[in-house]
Amino acid sequence: MAKFTSMAYSSADEMIFGTAKKPVKYGRDFEVGGGMVYPEIVNHPRPGSEETKKSLMREYEKMTNDSLERAVTLGFPGLQIELEHVWQMTKNPDWGGDIAGQTVRQQQDWYQKYGIKSAVRATIADNRKPEQENIRDCKSLELALKTFELSAKNGADNLSIESVGGKEISDYSIVRQDIRGVLFGIGVLGSRDVEFLWKQIVEIANKYGATPGGETNCAQANVAMFMAGGMLDKSVPHTFAAVTRAIGAARTLTAYEMGAKGPTKDCGYEDPIIKAITGIPIATEGKTCACAHADLQGNLIMAVTDLWSNEAVEYHDMFGGTTAAVFTEILGYDVALMNSAIALGKAKDLQEMMIYSDLYRDVHSFVVAPAQAYEIGKAIVTNNTDYYSRARAGAICAAKLILGDPKMLLSKFETEVLQKTLRELESFPDNEGDFIEQCAAIYTKAVPGFKLANYGL
């Protein structure tokens, strides 16, 4: 395990969309972070199509064909297709493996006929239940690892996951605005689980020549973000959720320390922080993922992206064609604008417009803007002595950045919540062991099913 103790970039200004310090090549003449942005389409099957393996494979065959056909029809140079597993595809490893193989064959056919560059990302489902089972030795883990193996064996170019370790604690804590529990569940427990999982994922990828791709804190930091929601929502304070994002970045970083090479997973809104630290290419989602959910980072999150995703769209007909075709088109034209800006020497101008269109829309967008992402990343690597210290440092940095910018307008309520959160973070023990001991005493009683042994503690 190689810990990051310095930043990949000399400053935030050095980061730009389409280019990463450590580009990755895989698939059919496909390179991410090598000077161009590519679209990543995520199509989801209709309910009912998953009843049998045959019907699900047919659904994926149609979705993939529609996306590739639209991309070639409109002259797009390349496309990554993400197979984000419905649970049946991981519960039945041969389903996921065979769909990966089928998608690779389709891409190969279109590449040979038309020259379209392409790749397949297989994102295996993490069906483990931390509050109910031993997540280091359970049937769900066994099936997930088997699905990784069959997907890679059948040709999947990139292996990724949205892991859930620590979620039993973070779910309990987010709704209670308990920053101690969030730091423990995401920063301490989640990081340990990512380490455990990615050691095995990297081994499988290397065995079959696949690229160990990306991780995301979707199961935790995204829960806080979506509960905080937009301007009308009040379930969780926005400032609390924004601090949670910084903790999520420290956790997600673990995958890349274990050997993941990217591109990162699109729903990891912490990914600009990851890119600043690692130089690994990232996938992001924003305005074009409106088919799946609303977010407040719409244009800004494109600022340093390398793959531009729609998050997920269910397969249906629209006036313009199927959703698979329509959202491939939307993503393709978004990417064409970015690539034209690169070619014309206007990338920094377009990036500035992306950033300032959403920078002060909300704290969610503020903390992942390149300048703030860089500072949070620097706080993480400067304190990278253990999982707890770096996650705490990132959280403190995020809180101070928000409070320190007079243009980031906050209500009295949001300000008070953030100030309280910062005071609590600063009051926690400096020693990780002391913090774990403190948390163990609290959460083994408060959270049914929580067991330290799930995390090697």
pLDDT tens string 226-278: 999 999 998 999 999 999 999 999 999 999 999 999 999 999 999 999 999 99
CATH number at residue 208: 3.20.20.70
Alpha helices in 115-163 (DSSP H): 139-153
Cβ partners under 8 Å of residue 450, min gap 6: 130, 131, 168, 169, 443, 444
Q: Residue 394: which of 379, 374, 372 has the closest Cα? A: 379
327 within a domain of the structure (yes/no): yes
Cβ partners under 8 Å of residue 422, min gap 6: 396, 399, 400, 403
Query: Can you tell me the distance from the alpha carbon of 185 to that of 193, in angstroms, rounded to the nearest whole number?
Result: 10
**Cβ(309)–Cβ(82) below 8 Å:** yes
Element containing residue 434 per DSSP (H, E): helix 432-446
**Cβ(292)–Cβ(311) below 8 Å:** yes
97 within a domain of the structure (yes/no): yes
Token output for 101: 């193989």
Query: Can you tell me the distance from the alpha carbon of 309 to that of 81, in angstroms, rounded to the nearest whole number?
Result: 10
Dump the DSSP string for 5-19: -S-SSSSGGG-BTTE
Cβ partners under 8 Å of residue 308, min gap 6: 37, 38, 39, 40, 283, 284, 285, 288, 302, 331, 334, 335, 338
4 within a domain of the structure (yes/no): no
pLDDT computed for residue 447 by the predictor: 98
Token output for 106: 């389709």
5 within a domain of the structure (yes/no): no
Q: Could you list the residue range(s) of the whole structural domain that residue 200 is in?
A: 12-448
What is the DSSP-derived secondary structure letter of residue 229? -
Q: How many domains does the chain have?
A: 1
Q: Residue 356: which of 370, 343, 337 has the closest Cα? A: 370
Query: Can you tell me the distance from the alpha carbon of 43 to that of 328, in angstroms, rounded to the nearest whole number?
Result: 10
pLDDT computed for residue 150 by the predictor: 98
Pairing of strands 307-309, 158-161: unpaired
Q: pLDDT tens, 380-408? A: 999 999 999 999 999 999 999 999 999 99
pLDDT computed for residue 1 by the predictor: 86
CA distance from start to end of the chain: 19
**Cβ(16)–Cβ(347) below 8 Å:** yes
270 within a domain of the structure (yes/no): yes
What is the DSSP-derived secondary structure letter of residue 131? T
Token output for 51: 């009843």
Cβ partners under 8 Å of residue 137, min gap 6: none
265 within a domain of the structure (yes/no): yes
pLDDT computed for residue 77 by the predictor: 98
Amino acid identity of 412?
Answer: K
3 within a domain of the structure (yes/no): no
Query: Can you tell me the distance from the alpha carbon of 332 to that of 58, in angstroms, rounded to the nearest whole number?
Result: 25
Q: Residue 191: which of 447, 355, 441, 436 has the closest Cα? A: 436
pLDDT tens over the chain, length 457 residues: 899 999 999 999 999 999 999 999 999 999 999 999 999 999 999 999 999 999 999 999 999 999 999 999 999 999 999 999 999 999 999 999 999 999 999 999 999 999 999 999 999 999 999 999 999 999 999 999 999 999 999 999 999 999 999 999 999 999 999 999 999 999 999 999 999 999 999 999 999 999 999 999 999 999 999 999 999 998 999 999 999 999 999 999 999 999 999 999 999 999 999 999 999 999 999 999 999 999 999 999 999 999 999 999 999 999 999 999 999 999 999 999 999 999 999 999 999 999 999 999 999 999 999 999 999 999 999 999 999 999 999 999 999 999 999 999 999 999 999 999 999 999 999 999 999 999 999 999 999 999 999 999 9
Q: Residue 401: left if φ>0, alpha if ψ -120 to 50, beta else—which one? A: alpha
Share of the chain above pLDDT 70, in %: 100
454 within a domain of the structure (yes/no): no
- Angstrom CA distances, 424 to 115, 177, 208, 325, 446, stand at 56, 11, 46, 49, 19
φ and ψ of 322, to 5 deg: -75, 160
pLDDT computed for residue 234 by the predictor: 83
